[in-house]
Amino acid sequence: MKDQLVRATALGGKVRAFAVSTTELTEELCQRHQTMPTATAALGRALAAGAMMGAMLKGEEKLTIQIKGNGPIGQIVVDANAKGELRGYVDNPTVDLPLNAAGKLDVGGAVGLEGFIYITKDLGLKEPYRGSTPIISGEIGDDFTYYFAKSEQIPSAVALGVLVDVDLTVKAAGGFIIQPLPGLTDEEIEEIEIKLSKLPSVTSLLEKDATLEEILSSVLEDVQILERMDLVFRCKCSRERVEQTLISLGRDELAAIREEDGQAEVICQFCNEAYHFADIEIEDVMAKIRS
């Protein structure tokens, strides 16, 4: 299945829902950053959450997810926007832990039990919106359920998953978010909760080629798809942006780099692209700095 997001309503408009398949995107990040399985799963879960939260935005709006726990993976960062463009990285891509007690990749152990999720939304206003909540399990899906309830006051069921194959490639990745709207009865909420408790993992459903609509319909009645959107990896880095970063270092620091190394290399955290500046190119950059 091509990486895609669907936005839907259900139960006569009393529920809104999002579902994503992010297998190819997660594999691309895995290859770019050479992540090990546990790190792949953590980054992939955050990526799926970012894709769906991006779809809650409009126009040129965008957001950044930062998951900062006390586990060995360090920080997880995902950028997303309303157009389905995503990128992301983890501080320590080589983190790989033994399977947890349930026989699953130990994402919680990699992220840690102490720390915060930070969400920064650029809504085109003077100041960005910032929200944060404590990490409650490190499994990321539970943590986003808590974030929506506490920071945005929106009760939500969040399911996120990444299935890594024996050859370390990504076999399936994706997730869904289900949010009740005004008018949903207690009986309907209870029925959804029962179905969620019996639902197989989202990755097992994706692995069996279930469509996103089928996944949502296994939990919700009367699913109406409002939008389908392709998801793509897109990084905002460029040689011009990197050059501006070098200019910001100042003439003295660039001169020291040139003297010591004779060249400069800047690697983008998000896409792992390397930008090389030879001696003469550093001289050209220095010439652009006002004395």
CATH of the domain at 273: 3.90.1280.10
Q: 222 and 260, same structural domain?
A: no
Element (H, E) at 109: helix 107-111
pLDDT at 291: 53
pLDDT at 146: 97
Q: 151 and 31, same structural domain?
A: yes
Give the chain's residues under pLDDT 70: 290-291
pLDDT at 255: 86
CA distance 250 to 244: 10
Q: 258 and 143, same structural domain?
A: no
Q: 29 and 58, same structural domain?
A: yes
pLDDT at 257: 86
pTM score, whole prediction? 0.92
Q: 106 and 80, same structural domain?
A: yes
Q: 167 and 61, same structural domain?
A: yes
- Please identify, among 216, 233, 250, the residue that sits at the C-terminal boundary of a domain: 233
Q: 267 and 229, same structural domain?
A: no
Write down the residue that tokens 């609509």 correspond to: 213
Is residue 259 packed enough to be buried (19+ CB in 10 Å), middle (13-18) or exposed (0-12)?
exposed
Q: Residue 97 phi/psi, 5° resolution? A: -110, 160
pLDDT at 258: 84
Q: 183 and 147, same structural domain?
A: yes
Q: 10 and 39, same structural domain?
A: yes
Give the count of domains, the chain. Answer: 2
pLDDT at 132: 97
User: By residue range, what is the domain housing residue 193?
Assistant: 4-233
- Please identify, among 190, 212, 233, the residue that sits at the C-terminal boundary of a domain: 233
Q: 203 and 97, same structural domain?
A: yes
CA distance 8 to 19: 8
- Please identify, among 189, 215, 233, the residue that sits at the C-terminal boundary of a domain: 233
pLDDT at 66: 98
Q: 256 and 216, same structural domain?
A: no
pLDDT at 111: 98
CATH number of the domain within which 199 lies: 3.55.30.10
Q: 162 and 75, same structural domain?
A: yes
Buried b (16+ CB within 10 A) or exposed e, 85-112: bbbbbbeebebbbeeeeeeebbbbbbbb
Q: For 104-154, how does the pLDDT look when each residue is reduced to its tens digit (9 = 90+)?
A: 999 999 999 999 999 999 998 888 999 999 999 999 999 999 999 999 999
